[in-house]
Amino acid sequence: MTPRWSHAAALTGAAILSLGIAQAQSPELSAPPAIDGEVVGDHGSHTIRMGFGLSEGSPQYLSSRYFADILEQRSEGRLTVQIFPNSQLGDDVQMMEMLQTGTLDMTYPSSSAATSYVSELAVFDLPFLLPSREAAIEVLQSEAAQSMLDAFEGSGIKALAFSENGYRQLSNSARPVASPEDVAGLDVRGLTVRTMENPVHLAIWEALGANPTPMAFGELFSAMEQGVVDGQENPWSTILTSNFHEVQDYGSETRHVYTPFVMMMSERTWDRLDPEYQALVQEAARQSAAYEIQISAEYDDWARDQLEARGMQITRLDDAQIAAFQEAVQPVYEEWAPEIGEELITEIQQIAASVADD
């Protein structure tokens, strides 16, 4: 990176102002914790290739760099991680298949893309399930969540850790949205909203009167640019770091779903690693996931304000407006709760409530 202030003395006022704006392109994020723990023994050298969907500025990327640093330092450079962001190796679903066949070592999808491996993960796709980030984090750290990671066993995928994608918000290019009626349109057509390839998300947007269009994340920007879809839903940090505000004029703070990320490795890669390397990979995954959760939280509101500063019109919803969305998506629970499991849903709700009651 060019030293930011090296030529500052030569700059005009206007240029200094624009540098100030450029500087604001990332929030003040906590630095990753110092890497401690012993150097592990020499069990040969491995290069681990890791692909995912988001871009270089994202918490997902920054924490993956930290993961790479932990492995490199604690193996004295014998374990190296090559990171391929921006869906350049494929989308979440394709990269999980590459893990199964052993053509890719690691990926970091949204849990919603992995429900065909572990159906319990679909609990996270239920709308308005987790009322606060604190509750969500408690759930991610619970035994119930650990058993979802364990349930990947035998699939060809070793699931290592949950982290945070975050609360999903609606954006679109057609109109401000403050109610389900605004999504459905009264005398105009319903919004065409890109969703993840996940049946619960389809049901949510159908219930809201949209035309849901499942699509890989990597295709989304150009689909919006070309008007194939009116909108999409993702956390503010993703909307910002993927430059969606360039093609989306309106945002709504709906917080309709909290999506985790799952850091995962090919079982073939895992099996090739010495147990000491495996333990290091597992520990580094937990540490980098914890760091990701921390900076994702730091990023979230900041990203919303940045989007606003860059011209996105953001609609904040009060409790009554959120309640209207909640009511409109009730059919999703009726349809999907039996499928996902009433017991699991209750268990997750109780964990969430235990935080709220604290």
Where on the chain is the footprint of ligand TK8 (CB under 6 A)? 52-54, 92, 109-110, 165, 196, 217, 234, 238, 259
Q: At which residue do the structure tokens 């699931």 appear?
A: 159
Residue position matching structure tokens 């893990």: 99
Residue 275: burial class (beta carbons within 10 Å; 0-12, 13-18, 19+)? exposed
Q: Report, in Å, the least distance between residue 244 CB and ligand TK8.
A: 10
CB nearer to ligand TK8: pick between 55 and 349: 55
Residue nearest to ligand TK8 (CB): 53
Smallest distance, Å, CB 257 to ligand TK8?
10
3-state secondary structure of 49: strand
Least distance from C-beta 238 to ligand TK8, angstroms? Answer: 5
- Give φ, ψ of 91 to 5 degrees: -95, 180
Task: Compute the distance between CA of residue 353 and CA of residue 351 in angstroms, rounded to an integer.
Answer: 5
The alpha-carbon radius of gyration of the chain (Å, integer) is 21
Quick one: tokens of 58?
Answer: 């994202």
| 79 versus 118: smaller Cβ distance to ligand TK8 | 118
Nearer to ligand TK8, 204 or 273 (CB): 204
What's the rounded Cα separation, in Å, for the pair 260 and 162?
A: 6
End-to-end CA distance of the chain: 45
Indicate the residue among 57 and 273 with the shorter CB distance to ligand TK8.
Answer: 57
Shortest Cβ 209–ligand TK8 spacing (Å): 20
Taking the C-alpha atoms of residue 173 and residue 2, their distance in angstroms, rounded to an integer, is 35
CA dihedral in degrees (328, 331, 334, 335; nearest 10)?
-140
CB of 258 to ligand TK8, least distance (A): 11
Nearer to ligand TK8, 234 or 266 (CB): 234
**Smallest distance, Å, CB 52 to ligand TK8?**
6
Euclidean distance between CA atoms 126 and 146, whole angstroms: 19
234 or 287: CB nearest ligand TK8: 234
Nearest distance from residue 113's CB to ligand TK8, in Å?
6
User: Which CB sits closer to ligand TK8, 259 or 321?
Assistant: 259
Sheet with strand 79-84: strands edge to edge: 79-84, 46-51, 106-107, 258-266, 157-167
From CA 44, how far away is CA 41, in angstroms rounded?
9
